[in-house]
Amino acid sequence: MNELNKPVHRSSECDLTKEPVFRGLPKESIAAIKRICRVRTYREGQTVIADQTEPSFTGCIAEGILRMQKTLPDGRQHIVGLLVSHDMFGRVFHHRSNFDVEAATNARVCCFDRRALEDLLSRDAALERLFLVNVLDELDAAREWIILLGCRRVSERLAAFLLILCRRWTNVHGVLSGNADRIRVHVPIGRADLANYLGTRPETISRAVHALADDGVIAIHDSQTFDILNLPRLVATAGNGGFGLERP
């Protein structure tokens, strides 16, 4: 569906002061980018940006999860990345998207008019630096995904994925230094999407989850929420996908 024809809700502006990615910017930079920002809300499953289209905006996720996916010529779809709260997405100075971006959950997105943003970036060094750092973060995330898919067994991929969530959304150093008993991790996508992301089937993911629980590595709180009981064991299970969490 063309992005311009999708039903989205708009409000006058975003409260960018609540977005960590913009903290530290000069007041003038925040004021300038707020002027070109509008809120859009998306329902689960709705297309945000279609593959091979030229979107009119770039975005910062205020709430929810977006998935980046590619549809192959034979119809198969592969999730190639997940975007969570405070992540930025979209391209500037190169207008065509190479992936579909869809809402994996209901989502609220701060959207910036692309042409106005490009003009701001050419004049504001602080904003330009922020977007450069975002590009580097995207590269790091892509490298993590490559490492994750390089894990031979599904249990290794699942362990590596949980470690990515630990490092990204929680402070694991307290656990590693013995200051906490467990980390609670919420997997932000359903089992089918997770299986797609990890290159396997939902039933195989279920077996891997229960195997980790039987080994005392995790405790299952519900179908998408787990308590990590033994972080060193989880790192050992991930093998080369330990992502630097072997020590505090």
Longest Cα–Cα distance in the chain: 57
Query: C-alpha distances in angstroms, 209 versus 176, 212, 218, 236, 243?
Result: 22, 5, 8, 16, 20
At 135 the pLDDT is 77
pLDDT value at residue 246: 46
Residue 200: C-alpha distances to residues 67, 68, 85, 108, 206 (Å): 17, 17, 26, 29, 11
Task: Could you please state the CATH topology (level 3) that the domain comprising 3-146 is classified under.
Answer: Jelly Rolls (2.60.120)
CATH fold label, 151-241: Arc Repressor Mutant, subunit A (1.10.10)
CATH 2.60.120.10 residue window(s) in the chain: 3-146
Quote the strand ranges of 50-165, DSSP E. Answer: 57-63, 66-71, 77-83, 88-89, 100-103, 107-113
Task: Please list, in sequence order, all residues whose beta carbon lies within 8 angstroms of the beta carbon of residue 138, skipping any fewer than 6 positions away.
Answer: none
CB 46 within 8 Å of CB 103 = yes
- pLDDT value of position 180: 52
Q: Where do you find CATH 1.10.10.10 in the chain?
A: 151-241
The residue whose two tokens read 């939902």 is 202
Q: What share of the chain is helix, strand, coil (3-state, %, to 5)?
A: 40, 25, 35
pLDDT at 87: 84
* Whole-model pTM over 0.75: no
pLDDT of residue 181: 62
User: How far, CA to CA in Å, does 139 sit from each of 36, 92, 112, 229?
Assistant: 26, 16, 22, 30
For residues 48 and 97, what is the distance between their CA atoms, to the nearest angstrom? 11
What is the model's pLDDT at position 205?
Answer: 94
- CA–CA separation, 174 vs 218, rounded Å? 17
Output the tens digit of pLDDT for each of the chain's 248 residues.
Answer: 444 335 354 444 567 766 777 777 888 888 888 888 899 999 999 999 999 888 889 898 888 889 888 888 887 777 878 888 788 888 777 778 888 999 988 999 999 999 999 999 899 888 888 888 877 777 777 777 677 666 778 998 899 888 877 766 554 333 443 345 678 888 878 888 888 888 889 999 999 999 999 999 999 988 888 999 988 899 888 875 455 544 43
pLDDT score, position 171? 44
**Nearest-angstrom CA–CA distance, 137 and 86:** 12
Structure confidence at residue 2 (pLDDT): 42
Contacts of 125 (CB under 8 A, 6+ apart): none
Beginning with the edge strand found earlier in the chain, give each strand of the sheet holding 183-186 in spatial order.
Answer: 183-186, 225-228, 218-222
158 close to 205: Cβ distance less than 8 angstroms: yes
Q: Hey, is 189 helix, strand or coil?
A: coil
Give CA–CA dist 245/161, Å, rounded. Answer: 12
Here the tokens at position 119 are 């003009």
